């Protein structure tokens, strides 16, 4: 198989996006509009007229281009319209033309890898009724929601600036200026295309939790959730997630929680009955 390296200006974006959309592991992070924001100089490896593609988010340091996972971009890797074999996947890895690589690959790229190279992700199928889904909530999850419902709550959409201000105020030490700039562009683009929304929970008229949601044809991505100290105490995010589930139950959608390796966060996601799946981490040290 011949694998070609294609610079950004030479990519056929229509064919590329079509491959991502038709791939069993296709996700929003690999779509061209998303990569244009998180890694403007991205390029691709391509084979068989865009039947196989691998986006390469690039940065430049001391004049040298290198590949590194961008902010807000959980999974990339090799995507295929057809079933991806380990042999073809390995060929793509060998074809990466840069000195460094530190990439988080997609769920179809985890070929017999050791546990230390796998990362957890939690996903919840929304095909069942709301009552059916909630019946599988964990006891702690049900208790958290009950605690939240003891307060006066209002769940509604808020503006991007309200959300960004709330995020900066309550995620100190985690989110930096560069991340805020990228996130703001993602939000503007998603809201403009009507694929994104920002859902928030007000408890006793105070904004206590909010999350940026991006939807594709088959998934809702739970991006950058944030709670205030009051929200953490009142478990406001649990009610917010329950509302997202309620609004999208009886659909073919999957709620993608994006991780996590942090035990407390993983327990929170698992409490909604979410299933555990894995994506892989690939690193290559300096070759010369």
CA distance 102 to 133: 37
Q: Within the chain, which residues score under 50 in pLDDT?
A: 287-288
pLDDT for res 173: 74
Q: Is 120 left (phi over 0), alpha (psi -120 to 50) or beta?
A: beta
pTM of the full predicted structure? 0.92
CA distance 128 to 247: 12
pLDDT for res 288: 40
CA distance 119 to 107: 10
pLDDT for res 287: 44
Q: How many CB atoms lie within 10 A of CB 74?
A: 18
* CB environment 144-178: b (16+ within 10 A), e (fewer): bbeebeebebebeebebeebbebbeebbeeebeee
CA distance 146 to 38: 38
């Amino acid at each position: 198989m011949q694998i070609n390296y294609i610079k950004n200006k030479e990519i056929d974006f229509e064919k590329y996006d079509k491959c991502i959309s038709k791939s069993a592991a296709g996700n929003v992070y690999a779509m061209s509009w998303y990569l244009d924001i998180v890694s403007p100089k991205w390029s691709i490896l391509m084979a068989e007229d865009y039947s196989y593609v691998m986006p390469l988010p690039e940065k430049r340091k001391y004049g040298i281009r290198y590949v590194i996972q961008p902010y807000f971009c959980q999974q990339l890797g090799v995507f295929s319209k057809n079933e991806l074999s380990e042999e073809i996947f390995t060929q793509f890895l060998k074809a990466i033309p840069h000195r460094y690589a530190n990439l988080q690959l997609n769920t179809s790229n985890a070929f017999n890898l050791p546990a230390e190279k796998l990362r957890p992700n939690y996903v919840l199928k929304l095909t069942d009724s709301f009552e059916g889904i909630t019946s599988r909530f964990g006891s702690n999850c049900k208790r958290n929601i009950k605690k939240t419902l003891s307060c006066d709550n209002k769940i509604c959409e808020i503006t991007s600036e309200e959300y960004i201000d709330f995020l900066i105020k309550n995620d100190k030490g985690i989110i930096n200026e560069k991340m805020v700039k990228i996130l703001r562009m993602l939000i503007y683009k998603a809201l403009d295309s009507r694929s994104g929304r920002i859902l928030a929970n007000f408890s006793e008229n105070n904004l206590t939790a909010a999350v940026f949601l991006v939807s594709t044809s088959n998934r809702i991505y739970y991006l950058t959730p944030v709670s205030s100290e009051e929200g953490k105490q009142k478990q406001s995010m649990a009610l917010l997630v329950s509302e997202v589930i309620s609004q999208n139950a009886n659909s073919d959608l999957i709620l993608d929680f994006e991780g996590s390796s942090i035990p407390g966060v993983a327990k929170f996601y698992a409490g909604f009955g979410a299933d555990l799946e894995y994506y892989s981490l690939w690193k290559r040290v300096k070759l010369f």
